[in-house]
């Protein structure tokens, strides 16, 4: 048996669990096909990826991909034990980016898929840290998010999609005058406030990337007298967010959760909804005929400032200690075939991060396409803040009326305290 086969069996017997041992043995003894251990942690797309794996396995006889969906924690444990998976598709965040920061991943810069990735995504990846001289994470799916709106309500009230803050307030006032709730609030679920209201408000008002670059440079010096700070730069957009939350939502917004909000919006109980594409399939379950559009939340008086929130929903990585690197690279090339990466993103309403990719063919996300194509996007503070800062809880408290100045001052203190414990806050947070 080859060294790669022996390594594959050893990896299977470790962190990836007993269920994979049998699969690895089968891969080693059935026709000589070598097992490739593949981890995938987006549960909404498991059915699609299961079919993709089956198609790949049927397309050749050298490798047999076995998919594991157990999540980030078991993967982290497998790295510690020295038997990581061969290839990973994972949501890119502070936890996953630790593998990049510690330089335990293969350099993918010379692969064919890497040559097709749009250049403007690398700075977004770098916000979580880097491994100097290597390209170790390739974006596979980008999720763009913005305000969802009911096209029928807008048309019936002769409303245009707002492109400035003043126009947004005018739209809200018109809707209220016609006894229509402008925004449906789901403030009982902190994560919805964080990813929607909080991120859209800040991202629509400031240069998020520049802000966090400077915050990282300032470290322990963040405060009222620093060049940038939460209390200085976030105050105006957060106060605008609080105005929308208090004056332009339904009276019971503080007690309504995500699931209730999806049904209410689907039933026409509000004109706008600050959720990302993750909510569209749920809304469709209640009202498949609802005409929906999307637009970036305007927070200034200059339409040129309009941007959409994005996150690296999936990135591809190959560990240095992978037992079957040849098979991992072969499967990497297969995943990035234009028709496969396109079909995956179409199925999830995601955006293809390659130069040759096309936007999802769905009118519900059509309003975000020009901004995505032009690179007018940002990653929100909800995913960029270190996990030790309880941003979700802070965002929820702000939406419910907590004093913005005081809370943002607390966020500055949190940042400085974390920077004191961990100087390389932008590169090493999450440990």
User: What domains can you pick out in the chain, each with its CATH number?
Assistant: 3-136+311-348 (3.40.190.10), 145-307+376-428 (3.40.190.10)
Q: Is residue 431 predicted with pLDDT exceeding 50?
A: no
In angstroms, the CA 359 to CA 370 distance is 10
Q: Is residue 22 predicted with pLDDT exceeding 60?
A: no
User: How much is the average pLDDT of 114-130?
Assistant: 93
User: How much is the average pLDDT of 339-362?
Assistant: 95
Other beta carbons within 10 Å of 47: 10
**Lowest-pLDDT range of 93-107, 141-155, 192-206, 260-274:** 93-107
CB 62 within 8 A of CB 45: no
Beta bridge partners of 138: 316
The whole-number pLDDT of residue 265 equals 98
Buried b (16+ CB within 10 A) or exposed e, 344-363: bbbebbbbbbbeebebbeee
In angstroms, the CA 233 to CA 227 distance is 10
**CA distance from start to end of the chain:** 38
Q: Is residue 316 predicted with pLDDT exceeding 70?
A: yes
Would you give the distance in Å from CA 343 to the centre of its chain?
19
Mean per-residue pLDDT over the chain, rounded: 89
**Lowest-pLDDT range of 188-192, 317-321, 424-428:** 424-428
In angstroms, the CA 268 to CA 149 distance is 10
Structure tokens at 294: 């999307």
Structure tokens at 48: 């699609």
DSSP code string of 8-19: HHHHHTTTT-TH
Q: Is 253 helix (H, G, I), strand (E, B) or coil?
A: helix
Other beta carbons within 10 Å of 343: 15
Share of the chain above pLDDT 90, in %: 80
Please work out, in degrees rounded to the nearest 5, the angle formed at the alpha carbon of residue 358 by the alpha carbons of 48 and 372. Answer: 105
Helix-helix angle 235-247:391-399, to 10 degrees: 50
CB 348 within 8 A of CB 141: yes
Q: Is 254 helix (H, G, I), strand (E, B) or coil?
A: helix
Q: Is residue 422 predicted with pLDDT exceeding 70?
A: no
Other beta carbons within 10 Å of 340: 15
Please work out, in degrees rounded to the nearest 5, the angle formed at the alpha carbon of residue 119 by the alpha carbons of 42 and 309. Answer: 50
User: How much is the average pLDDT of 189-215?
Assistant: 97
Share of the chain above pLDDT 70, in %: 90
CB 165 within 8 A of CB 302: no
In angstroms, the CA 105 to CA 178 distance is 57
pLDDT tens digit sequence for 251-308: 999 999 999 999 999 999 999 999 998 899 999 999 999 999 999 999 999 999 999 9
The whole-number pLDDT of residue 13 equals 36
pLDDT tens digit sequence for 204-221: 999 999 999 999 999 999
The whole-number pLDDT of residue 8 equals 36
- Per-residue pLDDT band at 16 (split at 50, 70, 90): very low
The whole-number pLDDT of residue 275 equals 94
Q: Is 370 helix (H, G, I), strand (E, B) or coil?
A: helix
- pTM of this structure: 0.87
The whole-number pLDDT of residue 189 equals 97
Cβ partners under 8 Å of residue 184, min gap 6:
249, 250, 253, 256, 261, 264, 265, 269, 270, 272, 273
Structure tokens at 260: 């209730």
Q: Is residue 21 predicted with pLDDT exceeding 60?
A: no
DSSP code string of 67-105: EE---HHHHHHHHHHT---SEEEE--SHHHHHHHHTT-B
């Amino acid at each position: 048996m080859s060294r790669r086969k022996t390594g594959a069996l050893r990896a299977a017997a470790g962190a990836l669990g007993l269920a994979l041992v049998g699969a690895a043995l089968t891969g080693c003894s059935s026709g000589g096909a070598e097992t490739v251990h593949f981890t995938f942690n987006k549960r909404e797309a498991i059915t699609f990826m299961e079919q993709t794996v089956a198609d790949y396995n049927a397309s050749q006889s050298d490798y047999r991909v076995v998919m594991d969906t157990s999540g980030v924690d078991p993967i982290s444990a497998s790295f510690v034990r020295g038997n990581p998976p061969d290839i990973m598709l994972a949501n890119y965040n502070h936890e996953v980016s630790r593998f990049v920061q510690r330089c335990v991943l293969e350099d993918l810069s010379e692969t064919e898929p890497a040559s097709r990735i749009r250049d403007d995504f690398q700075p977004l990846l770098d916000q979580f840290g880097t491994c100097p001289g290597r390209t170790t994470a390739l974006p596979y799916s980008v999720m763009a998010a913005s305000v969802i709106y009911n096209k029928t309500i807008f048309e019936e009230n002769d409303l245009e999609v707002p492109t400035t803050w003043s126009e947004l307030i005018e739209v809200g006032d018109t809707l209220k005058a016609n006894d229509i709730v402008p925004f449906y609030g789901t403030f009982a679920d902190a994560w919805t406030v964080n990813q929607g209201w909080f991120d859209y408000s800040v991202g629509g008002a400031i240069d998020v990337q520049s802000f966090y670059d400077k915050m990282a440079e300032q470290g322990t010096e963040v405060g009222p007298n620093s060049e940038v700070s939460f209390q200085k730069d976030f105050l105006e957009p957060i106060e605008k967010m609080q105005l929308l939350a208090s004056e332009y939502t339904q009276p019971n917004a503080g007690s309504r959760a995500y699931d209730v909000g999806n049904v209410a919006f689907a039933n026409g109980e509000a004109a706008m909804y600050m959720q990302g594409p993750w909510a569209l399939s749920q809304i469709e379950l209640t009202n498949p005929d609802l005409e929906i559009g999307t637009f970036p939340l305007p927070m200034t008086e200059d339409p040129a400032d309009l941007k959409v929130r994005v996150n690296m929903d999936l990135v591809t990585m190959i560990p240095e200690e992978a037992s079957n690197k040849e098979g991992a690279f072969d499967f990497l090339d297969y995943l990035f075939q234009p028709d496969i990466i396109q079909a995956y993103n179409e199925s999830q309403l995601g955006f293809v991060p390659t130069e040759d990719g096309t936007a999802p063919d769905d009118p519900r996300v059509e309003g975000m396409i020009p901004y995505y194509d032009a690179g007018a996007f940002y990653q929100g503070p909800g995913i960029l803040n270190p996990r030790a800062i309880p941003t979700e809880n802070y965002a929820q408290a702000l939406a419910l009326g907590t004093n913005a100045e005081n809370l943002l001052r607390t966020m500055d203190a949190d940042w400085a305290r974390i920077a004191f414990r961990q100087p390389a806050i932008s590169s090493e947070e999450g440990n």
